[in-house]
Amino acid sequence: MTSLAVLIPIALFLGGLGLLAFLWSLKNNQYDDLDGAAERILFDDAVEEASVAVPGNAVEAKTGQLR
């Protein structure tokens, strides 16, 4: 019975802490864009054209200049 006197306040404290964390997340707009991340995976990013280096030419690959 004495263990319940310790466990009940601990459980109430942890529950209140969880409630405060949830309310903080609501206040800071954590749940505003729930579909954005799920839909972002479906669209390609804009790909920039990369310069193609000749495989055997390390100087051109490092400096961008021909020997």
Which pTM does this prediction carry? 0.52
26 vs 51, more confident: 26
b/e sequence 29-66, b meaning 16+ C-beta within 10 Å: eeeeeeeeeeeeeeeeeeeeeeeeeeeeeeeeeeeeee
Percent of the chain exceeding pLDDT 70 equals 70
